[in-house]
Amino acid sequence: MTAEQRIAGVGSLEDLYAELGGVEMTAGWIDRDEPILWREPDTGFRPQHWRYAVARPALDAAGRLINTELAERRNLVMRNPADPDGIATTRTLVSAYQMILPGEKARSHRHAPHALRVIIDAKGAYSTVDGVKTPMETGDIVLTPGWQWHGHGHDGDEPAYWFDGLDVPLVHLLEPMFVEEHPDGFEEVELVTEDSPLRFSWDGLQKALDEAEPDPEGVEGTRIRLDAPDMPTMALDVHRFESGEETRPARSTTNAIYCVMEGRGTTTIEGEPVSWERGDTFAGPMWRSVAHSIDEDAVVFRMSDEPLMKFAKYYRRELD
C-alpha cells in the first residue's frame, strides 16, 4: 500500500500523526514542549562578562606554549554558556581576545564572515587588508570585511593584544561559510598608509566624539557610528560616558557585545550587574534591559546585529 493510500484511509488522529511522521511532516496544531511562536523574544543566551585581566595572562601563557605555525590566530574565544558545544558569544556574533608577539606574522586568509579588531594594547602592530598595510595601535578599530584578504604582524617590542568581533554564528545559522588561505601565504603589500577607510584611529574617534551630541533620550551617552558599508550585518558604535552618568534602561531586538576601551562602570542587564574596566568584554543578548552606571569617564565599543534586524523588519526597541 502506498503512503497516499494509507493516509487516505486513516481512521484516527493518532494514525494520521503516525503516517505523517513517515513522510517527514508534522501537524502544526499539536501542543509542543517548544512552541512554534511565542509572545516575545525568549533567548537562552545570557548576559556574560569576560575580564581582560584574566585573558591577558592566558594569552601570555599561550604565547609561551604555541606559535603562529601551530595556531594561525592565537585567540581565546568568548563563548556564552548557552552554546556549550559551539563558539557563539550571542546568537549571531562572536568575540575573542587575540595576541601576537613581537616579530611574528600571521598568514593571510579570507572568509565569508565579517570581522573587526578593537586594539587594547599595541605599539608597532599592523594589519594588511587587500594589500593595504595600516597600523594597529592602542585604541584603534580595524575592519576586515568579509572575503577580503587579511593578515597581521608585529614590528614592535612588546606583545600586542586586541578584541576580535565577527558574525561567524550568523554565518553558521545561514550556512554560506567559505574560507580560503592565501596562495602565497602572505599577501603582498601594495600600499602602506595610516589613512584607510578600514582603520578608525583612537585620535580620530575622540575627535568624532567631541563633535557628537549626547543622546537626548539618555540611553546611549554620546555615540558615533562607524561607517562600514561592506559589513552590512553589523552596527559598530563607540559610546562616551561621563563619570557619574546613569543611562536610562532600554531593551531591543538586537544582540550586542561591548568592549571597554577606557574607564570603569557597571552595566545592569536584565537585573544582572556587570562591573567592568578597561579591556573587559560583556554580552547583552536581545530583549534584555540594559542600563549603564559610570564610575570613571568611559569609552565603550559596541557591536550589534541591528542592521540585520532592521533589514528583516524584526527590530523593536523599548525604553523603561
Domain extent listing, the chain: 1-37, 48-200, 205-319
Domain range 48-200, its CATH number among 3.60.21.70, 3.10.129.10, 3.30.390.50, 2.60.120.10: 2.60.120.10
The pLDDT of 167-174, averaged and rounded, is 97
Residue range 205-319, CATH number: 2.60.120.10
Q: Is the pLDDT of residue 71 over 60?
A: no
Tell me: the pLDDT tens digits for 192-248? Answer: 999 999 999 999 999 999 999 999 999 999 999 999 999 999 999 999 999 999 999
The pLDDT of 234-263, averaged and rounded, is 98
Label the pairing between strands 141-144 and 199-200. antiparallel
pTM of the model: 0.94
User: What confidence score (pLDDT) does residue 66 get?
Assistant: 82
User: What confidence score (pLDDT) does residue 1 get?
Assistant: 79
User: What confidence score (pLDDT) does residue 320 get?
Assistant: 85
User: What confidence score (pLDDT) does residue 108 get?
Assistant: 95
Lookup: cell for 55: 585573558
Q: What is the 3-state secondary structure (H, E, C) of the chain?
A: CCHHHHHHCCCCHHHHHHHHHHCCCCCCCCCCCCCCCCCCCCCCCCCEEECHHHHHHHHHHHHHHCCCCCCCCCEEEECCCCCCCCCCCCCCCEEEEEEECCCCEEEEEEECCCEEEEEEECCCEEEEECCEEEEECCCCEEEECCCCCEEEEECCCCCEEEEEEECHHHHHHHCCCCEEECCCCCCCCCEECCCCCCEECHHHHHHHHHHCCECCCCCCCEEEECCCCCCCCCEEEEEEECCCCECCCEEECCCEEEEEEEEEEEEEECCEEEEECCCCEEEECCCCCEEEEEEEEEEEEEEECHHHHHHCCCCCEEEC
Do the first three CATH levels of 48-200 and 205-319 match, i.e. the same topology?
Answer: yes
User: What confidence score (pLDDT) does residue 147 get?
Assistant: 98
Tell me: the pLDDT tens digits for 95-141? Answer: 999 999 999 999 999 999 999 999 999 999 999 999 999 999 999 99
User: What confidence score (pLDDT) does residue 76 get?
Assistant: 95
